[in-house]
């Protein structure tokens, strides 16, 4: 019975779009009540705000919404700053997590010594580091990048560490019997084993990179989408707040999609779920 109710691959996209439309219609209906609209916003005005940001010429959304769109912001400048912070943090955090994860997984002595310190650093709420990074790097982009790197790093680090530890001892023994040295083991055994773990962590790290950048902008910045959202909150402009959230979510999905494309190209050797089930 449940298999019959399950959406097929052909109409799955229709189910997803239908769910989105249903949520938006429900949101629009309850926003007719001004008390709810004050806290939840109105989807039509949110869409109009996004339009006014990205369509600076031609049709003006204020023609449809004369009662309340705030002035046009230079969204391209603010969005560019946030995206730059996110991409830098994502790249640096991934590289550092990969390097340190491989190193500690292959160096048991160093891993044993640093284990309590790594656990303590991972348990610490990284948001409290934002003021310290602000003093160290100033209120420019690097304080936001540093905060976001701390979020991305540990996700990648622990996945790489676990991926290397999960290497089959039989595979390692066979590779050594064939004369593989440490560099060859790293390239042909350890890295392929950790790759799936790495990409699994990267999908989570995309969102965390945006979180770190936006939180940093909240705590001290004059540019960025997080700064725009903070200004809108200060004037109780909930529609602009939701517009900023939608924009950030959209670009996070785009970045996550790029990671997915890279994953498909690099993981061609790995059988897909359907192929595994057939076997």
Map out the domains of the chain with their CATH numbers: 76-270 (1.10.3720.10)
Three-state DSSP class for residue 119: helix
Q: What pLDDT sits at residue 166? A: 72
Nearest residue to 153 via CA among 87, 81, 101: 101
Token representation of residue 107: 């160096």
Are 114 and 202 contacting, i.e. CB atoms less than 8 angstroms apart? no
Could you tell me if residue 6 is left (phi over 0), alpha (psi between -120 and 50 degrees) or otherwise beta?
beta
Q: What pLDDT sits at residue 270? A: 57
Residues in the chain: 279
Angle 75-106/108-123 helices, nearest 10 degrees? 140
Q: What pLDDT sits at residue 59? A: 46
Block mean pLDDT (10 aa), the chain, length 279: 57 84 89 84 86 65 44 73 91 91 85 87 84 85 90 89 75 70 71 75 85 84 83 85 89 86 70 48
Distance between CA 257 and CA 114 in Å, rounded?
A: 35
Q: What pLDDT sits at residue 64? A: 41
Torsion of CA 263, 269, 270, 272, to 10 degrees: 90
Q: What pLDDT sits at residue 22? A: 92
Q: What pLDDT sits at residue 38? A: 83
């Amino acid at each position: 019975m449940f298999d019959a109710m399950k959406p097929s691959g052909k109409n799955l996209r229709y189910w997803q779009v239908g769910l989105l439309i249903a949520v938006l219609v429900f949101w629009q209906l309850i926003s007719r009540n001004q008390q709810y609209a004050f806290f939840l916003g109105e989807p039509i005005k949110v869409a109009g705000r996004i339009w006014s940001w990205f369509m600076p010429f031609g049709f003006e959304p204020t023609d449809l919404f004369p009662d309340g769109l705030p002035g046009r912001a230079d969204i391209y400048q603010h969005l560019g700053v946030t995206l730059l912070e996110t991409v830098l943090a994502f790249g640096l955090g991934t590289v550092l997590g990969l390097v340190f994860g491989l190193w500690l997984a292959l160096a048991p002595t160093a891993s044993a010594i640093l284990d309590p310190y790594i656990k303590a650093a991972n348990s610490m709420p990284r948001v409290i580091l934002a003021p310290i990074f602000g003093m160290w790097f100033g209120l420019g982009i690097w304080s936001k990048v540093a905060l976001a790197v701390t979020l991305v790093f540990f996700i990648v680090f622990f996945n790489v560490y676990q991926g290397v530890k999960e290497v089959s001892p039989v595979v390692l023994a066979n590779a050594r019997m064939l004369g593989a040295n440490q560099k060859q083991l790293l390239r042909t055994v350890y890295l392929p084993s950790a790759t799936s773990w790495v990409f699994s962590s990267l999908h989570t790290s995309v969102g965390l990179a945006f979180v770190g950048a936006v939180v940093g902008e909240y705590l001290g910045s004059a540019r960025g989408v997080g700064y725009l959202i903070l200004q809108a909150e200060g004037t109780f402009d909930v529609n602009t707040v939701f517009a900023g959230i939608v924009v950030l979510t959209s670009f996070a999905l785009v970045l996550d999609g790029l990671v997915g494309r890279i994953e498909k190209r690099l993981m061609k050797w790995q059988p897909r779920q359907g192929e595994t089930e057939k076997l």
